[in-house]
Amino acid sequence: MLKNRSALSFLFNSAKPFRLYLALHFFVIFYHAIDTSLWPYVSKLLVDKLAASNQQNILTEIWPIALLLIILTFASNIIWRISDYSWAKLTPALKKKIVAESMEYLMQHSHTFFQNNFSGALASKIRDLFSATPKLLDIFLYNFVRVILSVAFAFVALFTVHKFFAFGLLFWAFIFALMAFSAAKLTNRMSVNVATQQSKIMGNIVDAIGNIANVKLFANASFESKRIGTFQNKYTRLFERRGFFLVKFYLLHGTTFAIYFSICIVALIWLYSQSLVTLGDFLMIFTINNWIIQEMWNAANQMRTFLEELGTVEQALQILNEPLKIKDGSQKLKVEKGEIIFENVKFSYHDDQPIFAGKSITIAAGQKVGLVGHSGSGKSTFVNLILRLYDVDDGKITIDGQDIAAATLDSLHRAIGIIPQDPSLFHRSLFENIGYGMTNAAKSEAKELASAAAKKAHAHKFIKELPQGYYALVGERGIKLSGGQRQRIAIARAFLKNAPILILDEATSQLDSITENLIQESLKNLMQNKTTLVVAHRLSTLAMMDRILVFDRGKIVEDGTHDELLAMNGVYKRLWSAQVGGILTYQVERAEAVPLWQRKAD
């Protein structure tokens, strides 16, 4: 997708690759515009010939004209089927292109972008582009372009009768279009207000249903109904205001048509009395005017829809086409050892609140490093910078001597396995969730590997007990599974990915003690020959670490083994001494477990 593209530019650029189908549409529109005047003109010739022909020779004289009229009638039906065929081919292809480009660009946005925008709202914007663009193209081609061409051909046809009717039509069409455009802009603003109020109503309904326990426990069902009723009353007033305006507008539009048509009737009668027009001219002018007026009326009604849909696309593009904050690198990261080096790294979420200032540290290849510290001390930020969810302000981070800022994000993330504390799963089968890191593997091979990984994570048993086994759907974000089950699926996924660098956010925190003891041994095997970073809270996990980094206010204040840090009698010793039930107190203080990459300042 092109950044900062206007809605009209987006419309035309999206349709540009489908020139063949657009050409077919233009052919249909062009033919229809001609037919709007050609059919009445041939009808005029037929009537005039009938009026002038001898009763005995009438069949001989009129059959060529009658045959042409019949051919035009059948041809119109066939030509319209070309339009149907073109839409059948163009619409799905256009929607596919829009979704593919939108998703491709959306996936390149930074972690911050997705923190600042609801996932549902982003999906809604893609849906808006998906549904509105074909509508805009339809209205533009079959209402606006067709009307312009139809009026142009009608002008020529009417001019053959009398220039008064030709210029009269042109003048009325101009006034009609001007009024329609002005009214459409005003009703569009009214429609925005109606839609905004409707969104408020639905938002409050969702809020009330989402908090139904509170509503019932506080006996406030009637209060919620009255509150929603207040929003509904305003919606009714806004809707009626728009409706009354449209009634007056349609009345005015209809009046201009009635005046124009009345003038045409009077002019025709006078010209007929002067023998300047024929009965066929009556028929042609009536038919052309009736068809043009009908098309202008439809175009006027569609003008409001066009502006509304155009505004919808504009709003969607404003969000989806925000500039990318994390620029993808061009080099493929090749990780053989897994050495991680921070070189004079400076970073802050806000300019006046630096997290890291000139941090330099080396994590040796294959080293198991625990990260501890109070909430907000910089542990998660340290990991997020390695994942390049944020870019450093200064300095650089290298993996095996390669600057991660120059590497492609895909190659960086393929080199890192992650087991979060609160894993989120796709609403897909367990097999698909476990095998997510190896989507290119053959299906038979992938199933075998996923099963082996599940066994290592001690998930195989509970999976086989499900009615559909590995093909059971887990629900949105894995809601059908318990926390411990989701965590075991995440561990199985990490086993299967087998990346050279591993990040764990206390991967066994939601497991029962029996399962945890079983998995600890598996995790030891998983961490072998891997550079491992562990945001550690449990003593059993810290005991497995080669090295522990203690964070405090964005700085690494202590660095060493468990025994060395206890001997320092510093921050780590105080955390260790204050442990509760085998868990460091800063973890106990945190009331809610938040996934590693969703913490901004930890």
pTM for this entry? 0.67
In a domain, 39, yes or no: yes
- Residue 129: CA count within 13 A, CB half-sphere: 32
pLDDT computed for residue 589 by the predictor: 41
Residue 133, burial from CB neighbour count under 10 angstroms (0-12, 13-18, 19+)? buried
Mean pLDDT for back-to-back runs of 10 residues, the chain (602 residues): 64 87 92 89 84 70 82 88 92 88 78 68 77 88 90 90 87 84 77 75 79 82 88 88 84 84 87 85 86 84 79 75 76 87 82 70 89 80 85 86 86 85 80 74 68 81 83 77 79 84 74 67 78 77 82 82 86 74 47 42 45
pLDDT computed for residue 514 by the predictor: 66
Are 227 and 306 within one domain?
yes
346 C-beta neighbours (distance < 10 Å), count: 14
Kindly provide the b/e burial profile for residues 553-588, where b requires at least 16 CB atoms within 10 angstroms of the residue's own CB.
ebbbbbeeebeebeeeeebbeebbeeeeeeebbbbe
Are 505 and 568 within one domain?
yes
The CATH number of whichever domain residue 572 belongs to comes to: 3.40.50.300
Are 109 and 211 within one domain?
yes
- The 340-350 sheet, strands edge to edge: 353-363, 340-350, 394-399, 402-403
Q: Find the Cα–Cα–Cα–Cα dihedral 49, 55, 59, 64, rounded to 10°.
A: -10
Strands 547-552 and 368-373, sheet pairing: parallel
Q: What is the DSSP letter of 506?
A: -
Are 545 and 461 within one domain?
no
- Could you list the residue range(s) of the whole structural domain that residue 474 is in? 424-498
Are 119 and 227 within one domain?
yes
| Radius of gyration (C-alpha) of the chain in whole angstroms | 36
Are 405 and 458 within one domain?
no
Are 85 and 115 within one domain?
yes
Are 591 and 564 within one domain?
yes
In a domain, 523, yes or no: no
In a domain, 432, yes or no: yes
Are 196 and 290 within one domain?
yes
Q: How many residues does the chain have?
A: 602
- The 547-552 sheet, strands edge to edge: 416-419, 501-504, 531-535, 368-373, 547-552, 555-560
The Cα 80–Cα 187 span in angstroms is 32
The CATH number of whichever domain residue 215 belongs to comes to: 1.20.1560.10
Helix axes 443-456, 483-497, angle to 10 degrees: 120
Q: What is the DSSP letter of 220?
A: -
In a domain, 524, yes or no: no
The Cα 221–Cα 302 span in angstroms is 41
In a domain, 334, yes or no: yes
The Cα 488–Cα 503 span in angstroms is 15
- Write down which residue in 271, 293, 320 finishes a domain: 320
In a domain, 517, yes or no: no
Are 392 and 484 within one domain?
no
Which residue in the block uniquely carries the two structure tokens 């969104």? Answer: 199
How many folded domains does the chain comprise?
3
Which residue in the block uniquely carries the two structure tokens 């009395």? Answer: 273
DSSP 88-115: HHHHHHHHHHHHHHHHHHHTTS-HHHHH
Q: How far is CA 7 from CA 123, 200, 347, in A?
A: 18, 26, 37
In a domain, 1, yes or no: no
Q: Tell me how far apart the 2 most distant CA atoms of the chain are, in Å.
A: 125
Asked whether the beta carbons of 66 and 8 are under 8 A apart, the reply is: no
Are 393 and 494 within one domain?
no
pLDDT computed for residue 447 by the predictor: 77
In a domain, 340, yes or no: yes
Asked whether the beta carbons of 577 and 564 are under 8 A apart, the reply is: no
- Write down which residue in 475, 498, 521 finishes a domain: 498
Residue type, 77: N
With H, G, I as helix, E, B as strand and everything else as coil, classify residue 557: strand
420 C-beta neighbours (distance < 10 Å), count: 23
Are 15 and 134 within one domain?
yes
Contacts of 369 (CB under 8 A, 6+ apart): 363, 531, 532, 533, 534, 545, 546, 547, 548, 549
Map 244-290 to HEC letters: HHHHHHHHHHHHHHHHHHHHHHHHHHHHHHCCCCCHHHHHHHHHHHH
Among 94, 133, 101, 15, residue whose Cα is nearest residue 320: 101
Beta strands in 472-554 (DSSP E): 501-504, 531-535, 547-552
- Write down which residue in 300, 320, 340 finishes a domain: 320
Asked whether the beta carbons of 532 and 367 are under 8 A apart, the reply is: yes
Q: What is the DSSP letter of 371?
A: E
